[in-house]
Structure 1
């Protein structure tokens, strides 16, 4: 199954998935004559430099839409699904103009007709609200996969760590959406071993391979694998002045994380979601499920919203594997 996020009513989600499967099937039937040319679904330079990986992602979208396993999508898969939905939107609009009927939503009550104000329901509660906009809203937690070029170009005048902190992302998650030459330049030329000095106020540094020396202004990370991608629990936590070591880093890190969430100014529903993602993230790290941990880290950042600048622990996940 492909993801439909947030608290969408069960029967609405079931109907939405049924229609989404039909939309995706229609796309692949429509493009059968082109063989395995899925170039429309990906940025041009990505498709032709990583053709095998793109073709696999496209085929997986079609297969996953028909099975019953819950799963999250990588940025590459998200890009393919997004472009399929844009294709479906264009086809749907043209079909409506020509026939005054819907191609994909013919069994949706009142589809294409305005709903009287007093009859409106919350968009997650009514099947009548299923349309292309519904999928664009609920199949993606964010659209970062569309802005990879902007993040990468921003590094020219800053650093990987700065960009990841500013935009609350882990660039490593988006490597599949970078041209090969850019990917190599960005990651192979970035030092990962040696001594790093990071300017900061007092804060907690989480490191998986030894005790961390913490100073007022300059932090010396000797023999660290963090390099330019150092990650911290900051601001709110830094006042506690805790030094975290290998043996107790995981428990202490999440103890402080839960404090940040509980003391934050975000809404109670967002706090509940953030706490859930944090708990799942801790479990994923303990179970050494790296892919799940990276996804949950992204979900946690999104749940925290404006408070997410207090948290960048992506590299900590990498250190645990």
Structure 2
């Protein structure tokens, strides 16, 4: 993110310059309001799932330890959020335990919040770009070209005004396409790392849930799996939305009144349709598009890792 900071700033500035606040009909205004409201809902849900999941994962072992030792009067070993090996025994006394616990809590929460910030930015930029593509689709449907006979009978300035509008539409489309390329350049490596982390981590969370004995540990692993998968789903959902809205330009061009235009206008429509056959989308290392199909592949791959880990664990257990 720091390495690509300049590209991100330029992307936000350029998107702000072309952000549509006027020259919209009621349908476009309502569609934009609905999409922005949907984005707010997903971000709010994603935020609270991750924040509450992080806090539950970090502080549930501490609460369980305090309840069992001071309230239930049980002989209970100190529990930590993350199992680690240290050159000392962190559970030998309360001072070492609380110091180790604080160290782990700070690092887990910092990682979670850092992770959430990057995901928030990626999803927001992708969603806002998809919204602009959606409004652009409606613009193309509103174009009413002049018939061939009318075009030849009207004055030159009438044809020029039509051509300027089409050129303006093409410039907007080209600008959004260039922004989509910048977005993919910035985030394609981050998406790849995100997918790898999600696939491996959720697999181990699921495995830890099956072999764990304590209710707190199982609850932590389930919450962790849900929180991580929710982030992957939101990213894939808006990646799918960007792809659908950009490719939808071709559908809008075909559904427009292009048959009433002259040859020049029809050629422009053909170019628009041809370019839209290659939709804009986020990718993983510029190879795999980030769509809901990717999310289904993440789930299937996670299940494969989980099955492999379970098989290896069962084989070792039977051998012992």
| Short-chain TM bin | under 0.3
The structure with more strand, counted as a fraction of residues: 1
Larger relative contact order (CA 8 Å, sep ≥ 6): 2
